[in-house]
Structure 1
């Protein structure tokens, strides 16, 4: 066992017009943008899978264009997470997971189940949902992470459910949504969403240094007491964990620069 898990910094998607000429070389063909992005970063969170299904050939094509150790995180279908009764999401979960995403093979990273800001915590219903998430698909081990955006989830009961099912929770650095920095799974997933287009690296140097320290602590198996927790009394096992850090939303124009700058600090 290594002393630290692998830290992968990345962005959301790889097609965004303002990145052409800033992140992507001006002469780069659009069809080579994924190839280039994956040569500069270590992970990408795919948002398109939230809105609709993809073909197996599409996942296979993505896998063929990236380096051996590159990871895709896939945002799960909104038709699953937007259900009023999550306990009834079994068929929808199965449909999403069986669309061919295992064609990514070793490039398949965490599945992100993102919930509406209006979705409130219901212990029985949410527990039933977590129980529906399978450990494997087509023989491939799956890793699950949830992003909840309502304050009602800031309760030890929620943390206990996640730990029971070995599911991670997004640590969201966001202006409005609650931060839940509890470590409940075998990996840590943070979404850095308070950047600025006016800052060349999305987050300024001071904040990049701060987050670099934090992700290194997580990777080494530690917890970060000065971040908001749903259950401050929950102590995760001290063991190496992979960490995913995505620059998303605010400051999107410079998100790739932020991801590269953070990666350089932790490598």
Structure 2
């Protein structure tokens, strides 16, 4: 079944309390509330540091089955190693508990630094190493090093299903036909990243699904999306749906609390078709 999954990038923002989140809602129920209003969510904290299995377990308990939780890949791999010699970093990342999400595990998002230009050998080597199902995630996770203690690792799959990956480059060189062809060969989605002119917004079809990150309509991370803009995105989602593609869309304009309202508004537009 083809679906449009719409949500927010992260959900624990003090600015949202008493605004999007009802007055008196306890913090531990914020994700549960998001899951009632939206159809997916993007975990952002995994980019900054390795999360714990207990964190992923709590997330799985707070969202319904088949509610995709997209997981942002660690910056150790993307920004520090810059995709080079990343085997151990990938093993530790996948061992940190992502398998605990089971059928709630959505795509992995790999965001690249803005100064990382396309290099076919480097990017191709990285894409080749990405696991394509839960069993492959477990196999890679089992190679974690002793930086992770036994109580901080999960190396056994709980479901048997494929895994998706999306790449968010921020350098214009990724618009090169060779880069697009490489992602297409590996079935990795090239993220459409809307960022008020800050980074390029690619619109190439490279996988059996689409991945969109909306960072702000006119002001990065801050401004909301105008009704006409949301209408346009709804139209694009409908066209992808008609082409047989799932779509994952996450609003990252959270600085002034607009992200959750925009996500709900976009879902409302899709429901009216």
Which segments of 5 or more consecutive residues in structure 2 lack a partner in the other structure? Answer: 138-156
After TM superposition, give the deviation of residue 45 of structure 1 in Å.
0.9
C-alpha distance in structure 1 between counterparts of 2:66 and 2:165, whole Å: 19
1:56 aligns with 2:78: no
Aligned match for 1:150, one of 171, 176, 182:
171
Please tell me whether the aligned partners of residues 82 and 116 of structure 2 are also in contact (alpha carbons under 8 angstroms): no
Please tell me whether the aligned partners of residues 47 and 74 of structure 2 are also in contact (alpha carbons under 8 angstroms): yes
Q: Write the mapping of 1:216-235 to structure 2, written as runs, cut at 5 A.
A: 216-221=238-243
Aligned match for 1:161, one of 171, 176, 182:
182
1:266 aligns with 2:270: yes
Match of residue 133 from structure 1? 130
Please tell me whether the aligned partners of residues 102 and 140 of structure 1 are also in contact (alpha carbons under 8 angstroms): no
After TM superposition, give the deviation of residue 140 of structure 1 in Å.
4.3
Instruction: Mark the CA change 1:75 to 1:252 in structure 2 (over 3 Å): closer, same or farther.
Output: farther
C-alpha distance in structure 2 between counterparts of 1:11 and 1:85, whole Å: 26
Aligned match for 1:171, one of 184, 192, 210:
192
Aligned match for 2:39, one of 13, 28, 42:
42
Instruction: Mark the CA change 1:92 to 1:18 in structure 2 (over 3 Å): closer, same or farther.
Output: same
C-alpha distance in structure 2 between counterparts of 1:86 and 1:68, whole Å: 32
Please tell me whether the aligned partners of residues 149 and 177 of structure 1 are also in contact (alpha carbons under 8 angstroms): yes
Task: Give per-residue Cα distances to partners, 1:203-245, cap 9 Å, x unaligned.
Answer: 1111111110011111222xxxxxxxxxxxxxxxxxx111011
Task: Give per-residue Cα distances to partners, 1:171-194, cap 9 Å, x unaligned.
Answer: 011121011111111210001122
After TM superposition, give the deviation of residue 130 of structure 1 in Å.
0.7
Match of residue 183 from structure 1? 205
C-alpha distance in structure 1 between counterparts of 2:71 and 2:237, whole Å: 21
Specify the SS of the correspondent of 2:265: helix
Q: Compare 84-93 and 180-189 and name the one that shifted more.
A: 84-93
C-alpha distance in structure 2 between counterparts of 1:241 and 1:251, whole Å: 31
Match of residue 254 from structure 1? 258
Task: Give per-residue Cα distances to partners, 1:100-140, cap 9 Å, x unaligned.
Answer: 11111111101001110011111111111111111122344
Give TM-score scaled by structure 1 length. 0.86
Specify the SS of the correspondent of 1:9: strand
Greater relative contact order (Cα 8 A, min sep 6): structure 1 or 2? 1
Which segments of 5 or more consecutive residues in structure 1 lack a partner in the other structure? Answer: 222-239
Specify the SS of the correspondent of 2:262: helix
After TM superposition, give the deviation of residue 252 of structure 1 in Å.
4.6
Q: Compare 63-72 and 24-33 and name the one that shifted more.
A: 63-72
Match of residue 236 from structure 1? none
Aligned match for 1:33, one of 23, 27, 30:
30
Please tell me whether the aligned partners of residues 42 and 250 of structure 2 are also in contact (alpha carbons under 8 angstroms): yes
Match of residue 64 from structure 2? 67
C-alpha distance in structure 1 between counterparts of 2:178 and 2:240, whole Å: 22
After TM superposition, give the deviation of residue 68 of structure 1 in Å.
2.3
C-alpha distance in structure 1 between counterparts of 2:162 and 2:54, whole Å: 20
Give the length in aligned residue pairs: 244
